[in-house]
Amino acid sequence: MSDEAEQVPEPASPKKDKKKNKKKEKGGGKKSKKKLILFPILLLLVAGVGYKMVLAPKPKAPVKKIAGELFQLEKEFIVNLDEGHYGKVSVALVVEGAVVGKHGIELPQEPAVRAIITDELTGLKSTDLTDRTSREAVIERILDDIKKSTDEPVTEVLFTDLAVQ
């Protein structure tokens, strides 16, 4: 017979038995290490979600560049200017607190607004509409007249199209 078949197992030493018993008492060692790693991760995750929902600063709403709603007057204005010229102008209004009806924003006093714009534009020099500084002054006069003569909450007047001939 060979030497391999005749080998008899050695009796276990008391030190090795103590190590095996400690591993059995701890529950295998691997499970407890996983618990030790998962607990802090779970704790950090819960803390992060709690911070995000409760303590994190709320994002600020973007500031609107145009405060109010835009209302495009349907028909353009064709007006007689000084020295036999004429002008064609499309106008939009910025309205704050507008009345919203079935078809969008409604201006109950739109005819009065149109009359103010027509009166202000009629008889102007053509350069009053083509020169930027003069045009801005005309727009300011129109806005002032609308505020004085109507109850519409108009905050700005815009010339969206302009042609002078």
User: What would the pLDDT profile of 11-53 be if each residue is shown by its tens digit?
Assistant: 555 555 555 555 555 555 667 777 778 888 888 888 888 888 8
Reply yes or no on whether the pLDDT at 159 is more than 80.
Answer: yes
Tokens 């009359």 locate to: 115
Residue 81 CA to residue 123 CA, distance in Å, equals: 4
Residue 50 CA to residue 47 CA, distance in Å, equals: 5
Residue 83 CA to residue 135 CA, distance in Å, equals: 18
Q: Is 70 exposed, middle or buried (0-12, 13-18, 19+ CB in 10 A)?
A: middle
Q: Say whether pTM exceeds 0.85.
A: no
Confidence band of 82 (pLDDT split at 50, 70, 90): very high
Amino acid at 5: A
Q: For a pLDDT cut of 90, what percent of the chain falls above it?
A: 47
Residue 101 CA to residue 104 CA, distance in Å, equals: 5
Amino acid at 54: V
CB distance 156 to 93 below 8 Å: yes
